[in-house]
Amino acid sequence: MVNDPLRYRFLGMDFASPIVLLSGCVGFGEEYTRIHGFTNTDTGAIVLKGTTLEARLGNSPHRIYETPMGMLNSIGLQNPGTPQVIENILPKLDFSETRFIANVSGSTIEEYAEVTRHFDNSPIDAIEINISCPNVKEGGVAFGNYPEMSARVVAACRAVTRKPLITKLSPNQTDIKENARMCIEAGSDGLAVINTVMGMAIDINSRRPILGNIQGGLSGPAIKPIALLKVHQVYEVARKHNVPIIGQGGIINATDALEFILAGASAVGVGTSLFYDPMTCKKINTGIRNYLEKNNINNVINLVGKLNLDI
């Protein structure tokens, strides 16, 4: 529908909705698109599961633990490796349904660049750089927690692809605005804000950590206030460079999505809520449409960053 108020362009891609399904929550896409009732207007894009150059088995169990208003996960980037994804998984995806974004992960800058180079020669629509992986060469620290290291990863990926690059920023850092600025200057076309917040859970009977990896990423409604603030902070930087943001973290309904859009997100990521309500996207889309109609706004993109700060 040409005049659909939810349809717009994001980094040169036609989005049928501002909703982006987040990496790791719908596998490699086919798990969600075959759900009964799914239509190609439910989402703007689907981000595929994090992919490394070689296959990974992931972390030891337990890998997932439900928390009050959230979920801890420590999957450990289990995936079949880049060649298998490109040769055996991408051909099975229907690119007429929605846009598909690869999620690039690695332990070294060289691995990030090599995975990105492979996806550059694939039908994938865009590439998301997951800079929350451990940097083996630098003592195990996370790339995404240090602006200089984040920028080096982005620059290396930028050098080997012409596809749109979206950098997923970590909340586990001192200055996310500085990180955003350096990633943009290094060549990132868009930003995904935020990744999960680190946490843990303990079994008081065994007195042991519940997750096999001890710590994991917390997602779900519990982190929404943190994510919302980070989007607002990053928007101050991103708008100066005309760089769009995918706002994500605890979105379960249209009100949540609209808050992120007002804070500066051009698209909104949905993930954890899909685990208990696969039809969440339809409900969010309906709620956004109703809000736009009620407020005489002809397209959702016109609502981005319209937060009223006259307090």
Residues 6+ apart with CB under 8 A from 280: 252, 253, 270, 273, 274
Task: Pull the structure tokens for residue 47.
Answer: 């981000």
What residues have CB less than 8 Å from 205, skipping those under 6 apart? none
* Average pLDDT by stretches of 10, the chain with 311 residues: 86 97 91 74 94 95 96 95 98 93 96 98 97 70 90 98 97 94 98 96 98 95 98 98 98 98 98 93 97 98 96 69
pLDDT of residue 1: 44
Given the residues 25, 133, 157, 183, the one annotated as active site: 133
Cα separation of 154 and 246, whole Å? 17
Which three-class secondary structure state does DSSP give residue 275? helix
Helix, strand, coil shares of the chain, percent, nearest 5, are 35, 25, 40
Q: What is the dihedral of CA 173, 178, 183, 188, to 10 degrees?
A: 110
Phi–psi pair at 136, nearest 5 degrees: -60, -40
DSSP summary character for residue 274: G
N-terminal to C-terminal alpha carbon distance within the chain: 39
133 is catalytic: yes
Q: What is the pTM of this model?
A: 0.96
Q: Assign domain 8-303 to a CATH class.
A: alpha beta
pLDDT score at 136: 62
